[in-house]
Amino acid sequence: MSSDPLGPIAEATRTFLFADLRDYTGFVERQGDQAAAILVGTYRKLVRQRVRESTGAEIKAEGDAMFVAFPSARLAIACGAAILKDAAEQTAAQPDLPIHVGIGVHAGEPVPQEGDFIGSAVNVAARIGSAAATGQLLISDVVRGLVRTGGAFPLRDRGSVSLKGLSEPVHLYEVVWSKDAQADLAVPAELTSLPFPRLPQVAPSESPLVGRARQVDDLRARIAGLREGRGGTIMVAGD
């Protein structure tokens, strides 16, 4: 079943952001599981706040890694810069919980499937994210082309880089952000008509649901996930 977390648009170009913590395994070994759980929770909350502000959709969170999709390359870059800015501020405020994060961004035309995305564009974005150092936001030449004349941040050419598992090198650019920069997270006017995820206000049912306790519990859990910023699609049918 095909399901696009950003809306039912076939053959659409999407921009993907991959973020993960640097030296996370070392942190767990040094500080223990409880401290690691607090670190990951703080990090995910920080990322999700910025994703919500920039109309992105969280696709997946596994351990210290987060996968987010955007309808706009500019929004993805702005969100990434804002995440790094927030991470630096959080680390300065709580050095014992260092959010050392690196971010990679790539764009392409993936295949939406069951609330996820499949395809080379996703794989490339993940590899770029893995190549980013602490505090670094790397984008592909594809993304650079999309924001060449409209980007909010200067770019530094990092040249062609061979990434694990990819048959060809990828030309990378580093987004030069600063702690004082205010990322523009405003949604472009041309994108406001696209069906991004929203949580509509639903009137209470006047009729009881009979024999649907499990389904109702599942629906409530999924809605709670949406409120926390996790992407997904809910389909309900009835008569």
Q: Domain 14-188, what architecture?
A: 2-Layer Sandwich (3.30)
| Pairwise CA distance, residues 65 & 134, whole Å | 14
Q: What is the pLDDT of residue 123?
A: 94
pLDDT digit string (tens) for 32-76?
A: 999 999 999 999 999 999 999 988 999 999 999 999 999 999 999
pLDDT digit string (tens) for 187-231?
A: 554 444 444 444 344 344 444 455 555 555 555 555 555 554 445
User: In 10 A of CB 208, how many CB atoms?
Assistant: 6
Domain spans of the chain? 14-188
pLDDT digit string (tens) for 110-157?
A: 988 888 899 999 999 999 999 999 999 999 999 999 998 877 788 999
Of 64, 81, 63, 70, nearest in space to 17 by CA: 70
